[in-house]
């Protein structure tokens, strides 16, 4: 884990209240795994005091890219930064996706959940995903077309993209889980599901994967204070032998086997 102060190389809007920002760090780029996250804040920023967790979106030639959506003061301050201004960056943190090259990877993204999946898609191709019939497929959903993030980059990476929007403005009208369900009914081969998005979507994806007896990894979001396992601020209910327990999303996750999570809590 590194703690670095890094100048922003570029920052640009890419969707409604969503910005892509990039900075160079050979150290973080060399260690980062898909599904891991960084704790970031503007240098010297006192309000909010604590850094915010943001997934690693892409790693290319030593440059780290993030997608940041404005939801409150912390993300607003980050997205108002300009190229050349300095970010405090801690990471890479957490447990990322476990790549299993033997099964067809089905990536499922809801809204901002697309952020960590581009890094995963590019890593899957690097790990041999160009074999015939083994190329990853992306199921991506949002309320409208504008909420489907990084579509161009996903397509450039070589993925087959199956989109769904609730208003029908792009792809099929409906939920991304409807598209996944229809696909799983005709699945010709073994597959593994990797999902990131709102909790309701993750719960539905976990249930579909369980019905089809497919392995499924989900990336969870929780409020975080320390990001390093010290404060228990990010605890979620976990199924374990001997009764209910909890897991720290920042340290035990953010990526979990779907069966590890107690979705009814």
Ligand X SMILES: Cc1cc2nc3c(=O)[nH]c(=O)nc-3n(C[C@H](O)[C@H](O)[C@H](O)COP(=O)(O)OP(=O)(O)OC[C@H]3O[C@@H](n4cnc5c(N)ncnc54)[C@H](O)[C@@H]3O)c2cc1C
Q: Which of residues 46-105 bind ligand FES (CB under 6 A)?
A: none
Contacts of 29 (CB under 8 A, 6+ apart): 59, 61, 62, 63, 64
250 or 258: CB nearest ligand FES? 250
Establish if 255 lies at the interface with ligand FES (CB under 6 A). Answer: no
Pairing of strands 52-55, 37-42: antiparallel
63 or 235: CB nearest ligand FES? 235
Number of helical H runs and strand E runs in the chain: 6, 16
Query: Does the N-terminal peptide bond of residue 48 adopt cis geometry, omega within 30 degrees of 0?
Result: yes
E strands present in the chain: 2-15, 18-24, 37-42, 52-55, 58-60, 63-69, 86-93, 104-110, 137-142, 160-165, 172-173, 191-196, 216-219, 235-238, 245-248, 255-257
Shortest distance (Å) from residue 223 CB to ligand X: 6
Shortest distance (Å) from residue 129 CB to ligand FES: 32
3-state secondary structure 184-212: HHCCCCCEEEEEECCHHHHHHHHHHHHHC
Instruction: Using CB under 6 A, list all residues that contact ligand X.
Output: 37, 48, 52-55, 67-69, 71-75, 112, 115, 221-224, 254
Contacts of 26 (CB under 8 A, 6+ apart): 62
Instruction: Using the rule CB under 6 A, give the single segment among 31-39, 88-96, 129-137, 228-236 that binds ligand FES.
Output: 228-236
- Residue number closest to ligand X, CB atom: 72
137 or 237: CB nearest ligand FES? 237
151 or 220: CB nearest ligand FES? 220
Establish if 227 lies at the interface with ligand FES (CB under 6 A). Answer: yes
153 or 221: CB nearest ligand FES? 221
Binding mask 186-205 for ligand FES (x = CB under 6 A): --------------------
Establish if 230 lies at the interface with ligand FES (CB under 6 A). Answer: yes
Chain positions contacting ligand FES, by CB under 6 A: 224-227, 229-234, 248, 250
């Amino acid at each position: 884990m590194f703690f670095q102060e890094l100048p922003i190389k570029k920052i640009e809007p890419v969707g409604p209240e969503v910005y892509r920002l990039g900075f160079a760090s050979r150290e973080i780029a060399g260690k980062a795994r898909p599904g891991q996250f960084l704790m970031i804040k503007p240098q010297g920023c006192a309000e909010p005091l604590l850094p915010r967790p943001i997934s690693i979106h892409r790693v290319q030639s030593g440059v780290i890219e993030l997608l940041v959506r404005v939801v409150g003061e912390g993300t607003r301050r980050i997205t108002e930064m300009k190229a050349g201004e300095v970010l405090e960056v801690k990471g890479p943190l957490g447990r990322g996706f476990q790549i299993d090259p033997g099964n067809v990877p089905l990536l499922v993204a809801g809204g901002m959940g697309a952020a960590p999946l581009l890094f995963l898609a590019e890593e899957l191709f690097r790990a041999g995903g160009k074999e015939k019939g083994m190329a990853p497929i992306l199921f991506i959903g949002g309320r409208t077309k504008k909420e489907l993030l990084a579509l161009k980059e996903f397509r450039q990476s070589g993925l087959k993209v199956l989109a769904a929007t609730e208003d029908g403005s792009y792809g099929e009208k409906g939920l991304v889980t409807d598209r996944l369900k229809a696909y799983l009914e005709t699945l010709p081969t073994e597959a593994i599901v990797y999902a990131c998005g709102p909790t309701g979507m993750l719960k539905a994806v976990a249930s579909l994967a369980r019905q089809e007896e497919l392995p499924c990894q989900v990336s969870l979001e929780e409020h975080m204070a320390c990001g390093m396992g010290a404060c228990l601020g990010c605890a979620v209910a976990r199924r374990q032998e001997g009764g209910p327990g909890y897991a720290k999303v920042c340290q035990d996750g953010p990526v979990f086997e779907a069966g590890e999570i107690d979705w009814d809590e």
